[in-house]
Amino acid sequence: MGRKSSSKSQTPPAAPPSQVKRGFSPLLGAAFVAAVAIGGGFFYWRQQSVPAPDAAAQAAQHAPVPADLKPHPQEKLPQLQFPAYAPPRPPDVIRAAYRFAAEHPEILSYVPCFCGCERNGHRGNEDCFVRARDINGDVIEWDPHGMECTVCLDVATRSAQLHASGASVRDIRATIEREWSSRSTNHTHTPPPPDRAAGGN
C-alpha cells in the first residue's frame, strides 16, 4: 500500500524545454508584432500632430519682393519634371504657367494665391512655380507645388490672359482677388504692387 500511495503523490515530470519554447513562441511573436504596430502608430500620430510650420517664420526666410521687378525673358529654362500620374491640367497649360511665372515676376509676385500655400511660406503666385533664381534673375529651380495645384495654375493662367489683354498689374491683382476671394478663405500675404510697377500704373 505504501508504494501505491507514494507513486500517486509524485508530480509529473516537467515538459522538455523544446516543448516550452514551441508553446510560447506564437504568443511572443504576436506580442512583438503588436508592440511594433503600437510603436509605429504612435510615431505616425506624433508626426501628424506636429503643427504646420509658422507661415510668418517661413516667409521671413525669403528676401522681400524687390520694388524694381521687370519682365525677365529667359531663353533656357530648367526642365519641368512631370509626375508619373496625370496632372490636373494639360501639360501645355502647365508649361505656359511656369514660363509666365519665370518671365513675369513683376506680375505674379504681386498676385495672391488662394490654395492655402501661405502655410508653406509662399508670398504670392510666383512662389508656387519658382523656388530659386540666380543673381541675374534667371530661374534655376522650379517649385513642383504649382504643377499639382489647380488653383495655382488657374490663377497664373488667368493672370497671363489679363496681361495679354493689356491689363495693368493692379488691375490683374484686383480681378484675381475679386474672382477668387469668394471661393476660398485662404490667400497668401502678398505685397501690393509699387506705385510705379512695370506696366502696373
Tens digit of pLDDT for each residue in 18-43?
A: 444 454 466 666 666 666 556 555 44
Q: Same domain, yes or no, for 81 and 172?
A: yes
Question: What is the structure's pLDDT at 185?
Answer: 85
Do 80 and 30 belong to one domain?
no
Helix, strand and coil content of the chain, in percent to the nearest 5, comes to 50, 5, 45
Is 153 part of any domain? yes
Stretch 87-93: mean pLDDT, rounded? 96
Q: Are residues 146 and 160 in the same domain?
A: yes
Per-residue model confidence (pLDDT) at position 37: 59
Are residues 112 and 31 both part of a single domain? no
- The predicted structure's pLDDT at residue 195: 76
Predicted structure pTM score:
0.66
State how many domains the chain has: 2
Asked, for residue 189, whether it belongs to a domain, the answer is no
Q: Above 50 in pLDDT, residue 94?
A: yes
Indicate if 46 and 60 belong to the same structural domain. Answer: no
pLDDT band at 199 (very low <50, low <70, confident <90, very high): very low
Tell me: do 77 and 119 sit in the same domain: yes
83 and 162 in a single domain? The answer is yes
User: For the chain, how many residues are written?
Assistant: 201
Give the helix/strand (H/E) hosting 47.
helix 17-49
Long-range contacts of 44-50 (CB under 8 A, 24+ apart): none
Please check whether residue 64 is in contact with residue 190, taking contact to mean a CB–CB distance below 8 angstroms: no
Same domain, 103 and 176: yes
Query: Of 93, 99, 103, 88, which Cα lies nearest the Cα of 150?
Result: 88
26 CB-side CA count, 13 A:
3
How far apart CA 154 and CA 150 sit, in angstroms, is 6
Question: What residue numbers bound the domain in which 27 lies?
Answer: 16-50
Average pLDDT over residues 53-78: 66
